[in-house]
Amino acid sequence: MAGQKSRTALVTGATDGVGRIVAQRLGAEGFRVLVHGRSHERGAAVVRDIARAGGKAVFLAADLASLDEVRALAKAVMATTDRLHLLINNAGIGTAGDAPGRQTSADGHELRFAVNYLAGFLLTHLLLPLLKASAPARIVNVASAGQQAIDFSDVMLTRRYSGVAAYCQSKLAQIMFTLDLSSELEGSGVSVNTLHPSTYMNTTMVRQSGVAPVSRVEDGADAILNLALGPALEGRSGLYFNVLQEARAHAQAYDPEARRKLHALSLELTGLAAGSATA
């Protein structure tokens, strides 16, 4: 992505952890950064950090556990900029062990599926016209090596819940979405790729799950920015990376029927009508 001056990037979950580092580095690269998060205080701090380093940033607040707030975020983005060259769907919640048990979103969906997957699915589709108008543009979906096949008879895990299962299926859903979207975007000048950024980074999410960190947020930021800015990824789409290496995801990601089911379910749950998802 040559000529990064005057380019605009949206980073979700940019007020903490790896998202914050990515936002700061994009600001240093000359991007105008749309910083998303829930906390106005933390958002303002990130914007100040980017400005002090000579960059430009704007904070946009939204709770991705609400699809109405996702829609409002998309509207806020479109009100803030007429071009979007980079979308990084980074926001998410971890396993948090199995405490406090099964939770639901504002729309009644299993919380991890809603925040980690459905929010990004909806936000991306709502912003596709802006991304296409800005081509060449890139989408990066921050997934995980923790992946579990989706049981389409119990996607919301109402029968047998575990935080790990909820997290892992939501991350596989992100990867399946990436592969589908890559086909839809062929020839548009917009590429979409996904990755496991690093294992157990020193983030709030990892600490809350009770796991000792084994890698740094800076390592994860390097991996995300490789997909976002790396010249070797120019024009390449529909890929899954394990940190900096192209890899294979869970087998279900490559099952066309499973992806068809997920796509249909996602359109239904987000209220996007089939055939007009990118309108």
Share of the chain above pLDDT 70, in %: 89
In a domain, 275, yes or no: no
Catalytic residues: 167
Q: Tell me the pTM.
A: 0.92
Q: What is the pLDDT of residues 83-121, one digit of tens each?
A: 999 999 999 998 765 567 899 999 999 999 999 999 999
Q: What is the pLDDT of residues 204-260, one digit of tens each?
A: 665 566 666 666 788 999 999 999 999 999 999 999 999 999 999 999 999 999 999
Distance CA 113, CA 103 (A): 10
Q: Which CA distances in Å does 187 have to 89, 136, 151, 182, 260? A: 22, 10, 33, 10, 21
In a domain, 278, yes or no: no
In a domain, 223, yes or no: yes
Q: How many CA atoms lie within 13 A of 191 on its CB side?
A: 19
Number of domains the chain is built from: 1
> What residues contact 215, with CB distance under 8 A and at least 6 apart?
198, 199, 200, 201, 202
In a domain, 1, yes or no: no
In a domain, 277, yes or no: no
In a domain, 66, yes or no: yes
In a domain, 103, yes or no: yes
Q: What is the pLDDT of residues 30-54, one digit of tens each?
A: 999 999 999 999 999 999 999 999 9
CATH number at residue 241: 3.40.50.720
Q: Which CA distances in Å does 7 have to 80, 111, 221? A: 13, 33, 19
Q: What is the pLDDT of residues 143-189, one digit of tens each?
A: 999 999 999 999 999 999 999 999 999 999 999 999 999 999 999 99
Distance CA 45, CA 30 (A): 19
Distance CA 124, CA 55 (A): 25
Distance CA 182, CA 12 (A): 20
| Residue 50, domain extent | 8-270
In a domain, 276, yes or no: no
